């Protein structure tokens, strides 16, 4: 599949903008303790 679509072709890594990801890290750390039921309830109640 990767041979057909060739993901990343034409991507110039030196032109990518680096941003602060601490917000995402904090969110990931806070939800690591959630179980399947917590995740399911959050998805259903958000919809």
What is residue 24's three-state secondary structure?
A: helix
Tokens 């995740």 locate to 39
Extract the tokens encoding 13.
């890594």
Give the C-alpha separation, 38 to 32, whole Å. 11
**pLDDT by position in tens, the chain (length 47):** 778 888 888 888 888 888 998 888 888 877 777 777 877 787 876 55
CA distance to 26, 30, 35, 43, 46, per residue, from 23 (Å): 5, 11, 21, 20, 20
Q: What pLDDT does residue 47 have?
A: 56
Q: What pLDDT does residue 46 have?
A: 59
Please say whether the dihedral angle defined by the alpha carbons of residues 38, 28, 11 and 17, taken in this order, is positive or negative. Answer: positive
Q: What pLDDT does residue 5 have?
A: 85
């Amino acid at each position: 599949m990767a041979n057909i679509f060739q993901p990343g072709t034409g991507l110039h890594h030196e032109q990518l903008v680096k941003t602060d990801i601490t917000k995402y890290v904090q969110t990931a750390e806070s939800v690591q303790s959630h179980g399947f039921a917590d995740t399911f309830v959050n998805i259903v109640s958000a919809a």
